[in-house]
């Protein structure tokens, strides 16, 4: 629970420092590249997460490493901030939550759309237009396959669920039959 709160704080702080979509894309790419480097080199990861190594030495190592990359100043400062506060292990979660936080900051609704089979491009466009019209806001849709649905769609936005699936219809029918 504590790590989720920290991820949210760092993510929102980072989002609030970003000026535009171009800077967001560049920053996300730079942080992702560093995260991949960090997780693919076991010795580097072990060193920067070592609780017995002084923080000043970790910062020095990270600073030297960042000097060899093409990361921008903002990405470097953010990574060094995480190292200084012994929070580098949160970087993958921060990267994962960054697009949603960015879109929320910009007033764009995020939807998760589950279907049994992949939707065609035409179906995706129509669904996006309908959701934008319904909510009167721009929308970003993430798609996933859910073989348990049988048919139809399950659309989630935050804690709101639009269940237009056969499975959902059958469950609602079952509840009505039980109620009498």
Query: How confident is the model at residue 168, as a pLDDT?
Result: 75
Question: Are 77 and 148 found together in one domain?
Answer: no
Counted domains in the chain:
2
Low-confidence ranges of the chain (pLDDT < 50): none
Of 57, 87, 103, which closes a domain?
Answer: 103
Of 103, 137, 165, which closes a domain?
Answer: 103
Question: Are 86 and 120 found together in one domain?
Answer: no
Of 80, 103, 126, which closes a domain?
Answer: 103
Query: How confident is the model at residue 1, as a pLDDT?
Result: 58
Question: Tokens 């894309």 map to which residue?
Answer: 25
Please state the pTM of the whole predicted model: 0.71
Question: Are 97 and 21 found together in one domain?
Answer: yes
Reported as type and span, the H/E element at residue 85 is none
Reported as type and span, the H/E element at residue 118 is none
Question: Are 130 and 144 found together in one domain?
Answer: yes
Question: Are 64 and 121 found together in one domain?
Answer: no
Question: Are 92 and 131 found together in one domain?
Answer: no
Number of residues that make up the chain: 180
- Look up the CATH number of the domain holding residue 25: 1.10.520
Question: Are 156 and 140 found together in one domain?
Answer: yes
Pairing outcome for strands 152-157 and 160-165: antiparallel
- Find the domain containing 117 and state its range: 107-179
Question: Are 76 and 133 found together in one domain?
Answer: no
Query: How confident is the model at residue 145, as a pLDDT?
Result: 92
């Amino acid at each position: 629970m504590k790590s989720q709160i920290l991820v949210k704080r760092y993510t929102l702080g980072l989002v609030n420092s970003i000026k535009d979509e171009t800077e967001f894309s560049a920053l996300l790419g730079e942080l992702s590249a560093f995260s991949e480097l960090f997780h693919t080199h076991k010795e580097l990861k072990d060193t920067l997460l070592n609780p017995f190594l002084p923080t000043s030495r970790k910062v020095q190592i990270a600073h030297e490493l960042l000097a060899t990359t093409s990361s921008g100043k903002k990405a470097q400062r953010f990574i060094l901030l995480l190292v200084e506060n012994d929070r580098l292990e949160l970087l993958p979660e921060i990267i994962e939550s960054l697009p949603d936080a960015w879109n929320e900051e910009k007033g764009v609704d995020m939807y998760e759309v589950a279907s049994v089979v992949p939707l065609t491009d035409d179906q995706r466009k129509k669904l996006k237009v309908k959701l934008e019209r319904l909510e009167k806001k721009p929308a970003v849709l993430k798609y996933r396959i859910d073989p348990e649905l049988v048919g139809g769609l399950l659309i989630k936005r935050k804690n709101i669920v639009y269940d237009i699936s056969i499975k959902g219809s059958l469950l609602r029918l079952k509840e009505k039959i039980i109620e009498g």
